[in-house]
Structure 1
Amino acid sequence: MSDSTPPPGLLVPSVTSPPRTTAPTPPPPDPDPRHGRGRLLGLGLFTLLLAGALAFGAWRHFIRYRQVMETAENRRNFVPKVRVGQVRASGGMIRVILPATTSAFEEAGIFSRASGYVEKRYVDIGSRVKTGQLLAEITAPELDRQIAQAEATLGQTEAALRQTQANMELARVTYERDAKLVAQGYLSVQQGDVDRLNYQALLGSVGASQANVAAQREQVWVLRQQKAYQRVVAPFDGVVTRRNIDTGSLVQADAVSATAMFTLARDNVIRIQLHVPQDAAFGLAPGVPAVVRVPELPARTFPGTVTRLAEALQPDTRTLLAEIDVQNPDGALSPGIYCTVELRIPRKSPSLIVPGQAVIFDRKGLHVAVVEDGVAHIRDITEIRDLGTEVEVSAGVADGDKVILTPPVDLRDGDRVEIRPDAPPR
């Protein structure tokens, strides 16, 4: 081992060479001076544009704010122009138009009172008949035999009556004769009693026979009346509206389920029944004029008069039944026609008429806006009847009040308004 080698286990510090120093990098050569000035110019232009945009935005915001404030101010100071209508007092009459149906003044089903077959038929549907005119004849040969039998029985009862009367007369004479002999003692008292009681018995038999004769006479009358019923006659002047029999048809007398032979209607006077609502029933009385109109006859009206009233309202409909008679000499009206009836009923309580366009409806009820000295006042109203373009009310307004027509939705009580003048007529 050489002397330069350290012995084992001896730590020998390492010897490092000193660090090398690097020479500084020389700066690059300066760029063109004009290039630096362009950068500064672009930066300034960008700053200027940004400031201008901010200023423009602030200006637009200010303009919009000013417009909003002006609008709000104008809205606070805005006085809307409104159209108005005038409240007027209702007239002394209530005009009511109600639907109705015409009916014949009299209508009857003609049934058979005699059983048999129809021998002849003299009328048909649409035939005009007079009172007592023969409509049909019924044949029943057995009825003639019944009448003959009843008449024969009547003869028997009358003969029996005469016989009983003769026996009674004989008993009377015998009793009167024997009574003198009994008083003189020539006949016994018993014989006198027999004669007296025999006379009284025959006297009662005469009464019974007389009653039998009367009963049989009534039976004959009934059968003869049945014979008369074989001639079916019209009970009143009218027109045949229905026929249910023909020649040869079998008809039954007094059958519960029998069908009427004819239906006869009197149509020279038309009866109209209508139901008047409760709000119009007060003031309705016989004699109130009525005008009847038929849609198919628009150029003609039919005057009539209220003739009968039920005098009690129907509780389920709150209506009053009224009847109107309309003269129909030319037959222009027929039973069963739909029509309308106009009534002019005297008013019992005053009311006011408000234009329908002025009514405000909301969850609180019905109101109107009344204009007083340029100020709108919301008032509650009490409706009586809706007349379509107008409303009849009983409270809330006064005659002559000016109410706003079609009021704005944002109108409030106390808002100022300006009445728009009416357009001049053209």
Structure 2
Amino acid sequence: MQTKPHTPRNRSAIVAVVCVLGAGAIVTGGLMTRHSQAVALQSAAADNAVRSVNLVAWKDAPNAPLELPARIEAWSRAPIYARVGGYVGRWNVDIGAPVKSGQVLAVIETPDLDQDLRQAQAQLAVARTALGLAESTAQRWQSLVAQNAVSKQEADEKQNDFVAKQANVQALTANVERQQALKRYTRLVAPFDGVVTARNIDVGALVNSGASGTSGSELFVVSDLRKLRVYVQVPQRQVALIHPGSSAVLNVPERPGRAYKATVQSLAQAINAGTGAMLVQLAVDNAGGELLPGAYANVRFDLPAARDAVLVPPGALILGKNGTRVATVDAANRVHIKSVTIARDLGNAIQLEGVTRADRIIDSPPDGIGDGDQVRVAKAG
């Protein structure tokens, strides 16, 4: 069979079909490529919509130095007042002078008391004479009763007179002893070894008995400075960390660079409603006499930090009109915003209250992050 030769017209049709098929393939390939690119873009956009965050790495809190203002007082402080009225005859010690227990500080001249004492002694002598006469009379009348020379009633009256005079002698004796006891108070003495920290009298000054002194103040003040008391108000939050025997470091402004070891002696065991703090008493040795009673001081307690304390970098805080907050992540990587309270500012770290170490806190949360946002944890700690 003879093959029909291809004509130019047939060749043109074949070429056209091939071109159409090629163009269709190119268009189909382009559409598929664009679709895959669109899917990739959507996936990338979805990935970009989920923010990547880092979580705070937990670390133990350092010891918490607690610095508080304090006031120093003498271990023992005795204001000396006059127990009798009179005039200052002499004083023997001035302010700053060391004294021993029983040392005479001053002598008071008491002319009125001396006269009262002499009068009381005279009255006692008269009463004793009358008592002797009443005693002999009572004995004699008792003997006369036995002889029926006098009545029993008359003898009893003499006996009662004797008893009354005996009671009068006892009363007058007590009065003389009281005057003599007051006379001993004309010598003002130091109650213990210490230093005279105040003197408010001078020779010839009139002093009154009691706590009035010369001008409403004590005549002398003797203080024991070998050991001092330190009083400090500890905030309620830190009270549980302080107990008798705890150590502290004491500093005073007049001796920069010097530190003195103090020991907690007792706690008031009550919170002051006005200050929200508890009074704590410490003791500090002052053998060198460098610390002064009544002075201001600074006390530092090196308190142990809580093992479960929550420390975050400052960048983890969200500060705004709603207060201080942090962003946490739950098990489903959803964000939850929590309000917190700053317990301590350590400079490079902040100790928080209101969260625990079980919370996954975002470090440096992105701007605009909100409650319920989906995130991806890129680094846990």
Cα–Cα, structure 1 residues 384 and 80, in superposed 2: closer, same or farther, change >3 Å?
closer
SS of equivalent residue, structure 2 residue 258: strand
Partner of residue 30, structure 1? none
Partner of residue 12, structure 2? none
- CA offsets, 1:370-412, max 9 Å, x none? 5899x7945525436233424333442417967525x454445
% identical equivalent positions: 32
Alignment check: 8 A CA contact 1:370 1:404 kept: no
Alignment check: 8 A CA contact 2:81 2:211 kept: no
Distance 1:338 1:381 in 2: 39
Alignment check: 8 A CA contact 1:379 1:397 kept: no
- What is the TM-score with the length of structure 2 in the denominator? 0.74
Task: Quote the offset at 1:237 in angstroms.
Answer: 2.0
Alignment check: 8 A CA contact 2:52 2:376 kept: no
104, 107, 118: which one aligns with 2:77: 107
Cα–Cα, structure 1 residues 340 and 376, in superposed 2: closer, same or farther, change >3 Å?
farther
SS of equivalent residue, structure 2 residue 363: strand
Q: Which moved more, 1:220-229 or 1:351-360?
A: 351-360
Cα–Cα, structure 1 residues 283 and 420, in superposed 2: closer, same or farther, change >3 Å?
closer
Distance 2:324 2:232 in 1: 31
Unaligned stretches of 5+ residues in structure 2:
1-40
Return the letter of the residue paired with 2:350: V
Partner of residue 29, structure 2? none
Task: Quote the offset at 1:333 in angstroms.
Answer: 0.9
Moved over 6 A (4+): 78-84, 346-349
Task: Quote the offset at 1:175 in angstroms.
Answer: 2.1
Cα–Cα, structure 1 residues 90 and 163, in superposed 2: closer, same or farther, change >3 Å?
farther
Cα–Cα, structure 1 residues 403 and 299, in superposed 2: closer, same or farther, change >3 Å?
farther
Distance 1:97 1:377 in 2: 38
1:88 and 2:59 are equivalent in the alignment: yes
Task: Quote the offset at 1:77 in angstroms.
Answer: 3.8
Cα–Cα, structure 1 residues 385 and 205, in superposed 2: closer, same or farther, change >3 Å?
farther
Cα–Cα, structure 1 residues 83 and 266, in superposed 2: closer, same or farther, change >3 Å?
farther
206, 227, 242: which one aligns with 2:198: 242
Partner of residue 380, structure 1? 338
Cα–Cα, structure 1 residues 83 and 294, in superposed 2: closer, same or farther, change >3 Å?
farther
Task: Quote the offset at 1:233 in angstroms.
Answer: 0.9
- What is the TM-score with the length of structure 1 in the denominator? 0.67
Distance 1:276 1:409 in 2: 40
- CA offsets, 1:218-259, max 9 Å, x none? 211222222211111112222222221112222122364743
Q: Which moved more, 1:196-205 or 1:98-107?
A: 196-205
Return the letter of the residue paired with 1:162: G
Alignment check: 8 A CA contact 1:381 1:394 kept: no
The correspondence of residues 248-267 of structure 1 with structure 2, limited to 5 A, is 248-254=204-210, 256=212, 258-267=216-225
Unaligned stretches of 5+ residues in structure 1:
1-69, 179-186, 422-426
1:146 and 2:105 are equivalent in the alignment: no
174, 191, 194: which one aligns with 1:218: 174
Partner of residue 232, structure 1? 188
1:289 and 2:247 are equivalent in the alignment: yes
The correspondence of residues 349-364 of structure 1 with structure 2, limited to 5 A, is 351-364=309-322
136, 140, 159: which one aligns with 2:129: 159
Q: Which moved more, 1:332-341 or 1:142-151?
A: 142-151
Partner of residue 300, structure 2? 342
